[in-house]
């Protein structure tokens, strides 16, 4: 299995919101920054997308945009239309997280299918960090003939309001997002160093994917080199060349990044985080955490950064 497949294998999304939007001009919706992956599919325009990075971008019928980092953005029927929160529209929920969004107006109707998802596979975070804030279907997804019928299947499922529909939509959203990420990955030029170069490397990529999939394993440079299919010295040199740090240092930093997330969201106790990440004692984990992050594990638990209080939105 290639390294990207290893990273995507455990990819799961949760908390999927999915809705069909019927909006009559003039309409405008503002989406706040949230730790979500979002996508919007334009079945029928007009529709414009605004981000601080790119300004206003006209979307055509059949366009799909993915916002992998959940940045603040606006959708509108024209660039000069004021944008309000989603709750200003008429939102009808059909059980689970499936809804219909309506807004009346004197002009033509825009039909959109939108979704938001919480990322459950932390192994994808380094990849997402490298992705642009907006990925447009005409840039990458046209190379994947499955995307359009998949969107049609999601639309049909959302419209049936049957038992289990939310779960099925979640799995479809997994597949849709994973395929878009793969399209972007395939279309992105290969750098000579960095995480993308490392995951594409036939040897280092295996070791990198293994660390991300099982961070609590008792990895050593020797065992990682064996996973990579290289000698210890060749692997260590290649890893450092690509990522700018040694494999042991990278693994520790990755573990502490996970620990920060777990502790900040209150998912695990300090002892549970230490055990899950392969530390024999809470004290040794605490020392590594303080050395890497500059704060104690207890301080991380006192300053949670989760997704509580998020406004419902597509």
| Domain that includes residue 175, residue range | 3-187
Specify if 313 maps to a domain: no
Other CB atoms closer than 10 Å to residue 227's CB: what's the count?
18
Q: Please check whether residue 108 is in contact with residue 46, taking contact to mean a CB–CB distance below 8 angstroms.
A: yes
Pick the last residue of a domain from 161, 187, 213. Answer: 187
Query: Quick one: which of 259, 257, 253, 258 has its CA closest to 271?
Result: 259
**How many independent structural domains does the chain possess?**
2
Is the CA virtual torsion 76, 81, 83, 88 positive or negative? negative
pLDDT value, residue 120: 63
pLDDT value, residue 47: 95
**Residue 9 reports pLDDT greater than 80:** no
Specify if 14 maps to a domain: yes
Do residues 16 and 96 both lie within one domain? yes
The pLDDT mean for the chain works out to 85
Pick the last residue of a domain from 130, 160, 187. Answer: 187
Do residues 290 and 181 both lie within one domain? no
Q: Please check whether residue 85 is in contact with residue 91, taking contact to mean a CB–CB distance below 8 angstroms.
A: no
Tens-digit pLDDT profile for residues 149-175: 887 887 787 767 677 776 787 778 778
pLDDT value, residue 237: 97
Do residues 206 and 67 both lie within one domain? no
Do residues 89 and 112 both lie within one domain? yes
The domain spanning residue 180 has which CATH number? Answer: 2.60.120.280
Sorted by sequence, the CB contacts under 8 Å of residue 86 that are 6+ apart come out as 29, 31, 101, 311, 312, 313, 314
Do residues 210 and 174 both lie within one domain? no
**Residue 313 reports pLDDT greater than 80:** no
Do residues 27 and 90 both lie within one domain? yes
Do residues 11 and 128 both lie within one domain? yes
pLDDT value, residue 309: 34
Mean pLDDT of 287-308: 79
Pick the last residue of a domain from 187, 216, 249. Answer: 187
């Amino acid at each position: 299995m290639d390294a990207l497949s290893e990273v995507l294998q455990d990819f799961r999304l949760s908390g999927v919101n999915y809705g069909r939007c019927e909006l009559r001009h003039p309409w405008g919706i503002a989406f706040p920054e949230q730790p979500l992956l979002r996508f919007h599919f334009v079945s029928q325009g007009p529709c414009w997308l605004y981000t601080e990075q790119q300004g206003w971008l006209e979307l055509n019928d059949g366009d799909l945009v993915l916002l992998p980092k959940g940045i603040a953005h606006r959708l509108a029927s024209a660039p000069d239309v004021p944008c309000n929160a989603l709750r200003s529209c008429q939102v009808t929920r059909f059980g689970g997280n499936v809804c219909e969004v309506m807004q009346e107006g004197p002009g033509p109707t825009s039909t959109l299918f939108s979704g938001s998802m919480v990322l459950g596979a932390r192994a994808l975070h380094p990849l997402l960090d490298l992705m642009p804030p907006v990925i447009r279907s005409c840039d990458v997804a046209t190379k994947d003939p499955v995307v359009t019928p998949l969107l049609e299947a999601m639309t049909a499922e959302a419209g049936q309001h049957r038992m289990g529909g939310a779960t099925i939509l979640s799995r479809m959203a997994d597949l849709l997002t994973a395929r878009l990420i793969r399209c972007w990955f395939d279309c992105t030029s290969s750098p000579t160093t960095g995480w993308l170069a490392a995951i594409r490397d036939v040897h280092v990529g295996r070791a990198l994917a293994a660390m991300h999939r099982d961070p609590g394993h008792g990895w050593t440079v020797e065992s990682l080199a064996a996973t990579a299919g290289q000698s210890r010295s060749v692997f260590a040199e290649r890893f450092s060349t690509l990522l700018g740090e040694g494999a042991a240092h990278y693994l520790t930093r990755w573990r502490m990044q996970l620990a920060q997330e777990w502790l900040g969201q209150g998912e695990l106790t300090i002892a549970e985080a230490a055990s899950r990440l392969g530390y024999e004692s809470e004290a040794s984990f605490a020392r590594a955490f303080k050395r890497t992050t500059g704060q104690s594990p207890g301080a991380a638990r006192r300053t949670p950064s989760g997704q509580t209080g998020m406004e419902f939105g597509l």
